[in-house]
Structure 1
Amino acid sequence: MTKWTVDQSHSSVGFEVKHMMVSKVKGQFESYTAEVEATDLTDLTSASISFSIDVASINTRSEDRDNHLRSADFFDVENNPTITFTSTSITKDGDDYSVTGNLTIKDVTKPVTFSVEYNGKGTNPWGVEVYGFEAEAKINREEFGLTWNAALETGGVLVGKDIKIKVELEVNPAD
């Protein structure tokens, strides 16, 4: 098996959530590591995938909101500094995959399935083979202990329950 690492300058780990039931807040994590081990990245079914995300690196373009998300109301970064994902099974349907694994947020681990699209492979200007993928999953944040919310005077809540996780990856052979 070959080990692959994520090229962070060409990748992102992001999310979006409903705000006030009328719009979406989008954000990303600036610091994370990922490892992919596979015999052939054109067929992910033999792969092993793992992620570790530095929760303190959250960025929603609002310092006050980011600090609130880091607090005990949400991620409680002081006691839960990382989010992790480890694949447990991968199935293929055409060029697309379902990657199921264990997602851990705030010491709560639940199975989550990502829909993954294989974007292809190429050779960068330095002669290194690279592969591209896009992945998406939806989770209920309350199932992971992220339960803070505020009722709105007009009805509804400030923060939606469903979080859409979006990952774009470019991977290179590990050195």
Structure 2
Amino acid sequence: MTTDDINATAASDTTALPLRPGQWALDPLHSNANFQVRHLGISKVRGRFTGVTAELVVGERVEDVRVSATIDLATIDTGNADRDAHVLSPDLLDVAKRPTMVFRSTGVSGAGEDWTMAGELTIGEVTRPVTLAVDFGGVVDVPMGGGRHAGFEAAGEIRRSEFGLDFAPGLLGEVVKIQLDMQFVEPSDA
């Protein structure tokens, strides 16, 4: 085997996927879209969105992977109904004008345990690049006809002002941390 053969094999091993090609469906019962933001600079408010749809399209190589997700912003849950109503008001999210947040991947890269997903996040009429650190949890057969599931964690952060969400600087932190825990179901044989 030549050095070129070894390099070619190593390159193909780093881009091969342990996932079956096709369109993987989100398992909404085992997926979460969470966030946290500082309040008054001294504590953190955590919350989640319960209205999440997502799609994972797997090709033969990492370069062919595409992810898209849509979050219904009206489904915010911070554990406090009054706070949720205020976040949805024109003061902050203005859900009447910005009903959804949409993520579309533009590329996946990495190897071993270090993966990154680049993409574009759109909130209302503003689209900005976002990079997420991704942890692949693996693939498992679910008993009793549950199919094969793949699990992922993705984490990143955005700056509120870059999306026109600049209400109450000093009261709310500029940086919003995002944590996604997602399970996808392998495509069934057609």
Q: Structure 1 length as normaliser, TM-score?
A: 0.90
* 1:127 CA displacement: 4.8
More displaced, 120-129 or 138-147? 120-129
- Structure 1 residues 59 and 174: alpha-carbon distance in aligned structure 2, compared to 1, 3 A threshold: farther
Q: Post-superposition shift, 1:173?
A: 2.5
Q: Higher helix fraction: Structure 1 or Structure 2?
A: 2
Q: What is the percent sequence identity of the aligned residues?
A: 38
CA separation in 2, counterparts of 1:60 and 1:34? Answer: 22
Map 1:155-174 to 2 at 5 A: 157-174=170-187
2:153 to 122, 127, 134: 134
Quote how far apart the aligned CAs of 1:105 are: 1.0
Gaps of 5+ in 1: 151-156
- Which stretch shifts more, 157-166 or 90-99? 90-99
Match of 1:34 among 32, 47, 54: 54
Deviation of the 1:90 alpha carbon? 1.0
Q: Which entry has the higher C-alpha Rg, 1 or 2?
A: 2
Give runs of aligned pairs for residues 18-167 of structure 1, distance below 5 A: 18-39=38-59, 44-125=62-143, 126-149=145-168, 157-167=170-180
Match of 2:33 in 1: 13
TM-score when normalising by structure 2:
0.83
TM-superposed CA distance for 1:94, in Å, is 1.5
Q: 1:57 to 1:23 in 2, by over 3 A?
A: same
Deviation at 1:174, TM superposition (A): 4.6
Whether the 8 Å contact between 1:45 and 1:92 is mirrored in structure 2 is no
Structure number having the greater strand percentage: 1
AA of the residue aligned to 2:154? A
The answer to whether the 8 A contact 1:38-1:47 is kept is: yes
- The aligned amino acid for 2:45 is V
The code of the aligned residue for 2:128 comes to: K
Q: 1:136: Cα distance to partner?
A: 0.2
Unpaired segments ≥5 residues, structure 2: 1-20
Q: What residue identity is the alignment partner of 1:114?
A: L
Give the Cα separation in 1 of the matches to 2:96 and 2:39: 25
Q: How far, CA to CA, are the matches of 1:33 and 1:123 in structure 2? A: 22
Question: Is 2:22 aligned against 1:2?
Answer: yes
Separation in 1, partners of 2:187, 2:50: 20
Please, what is the CA RMSD of the aligned residues?
1.5
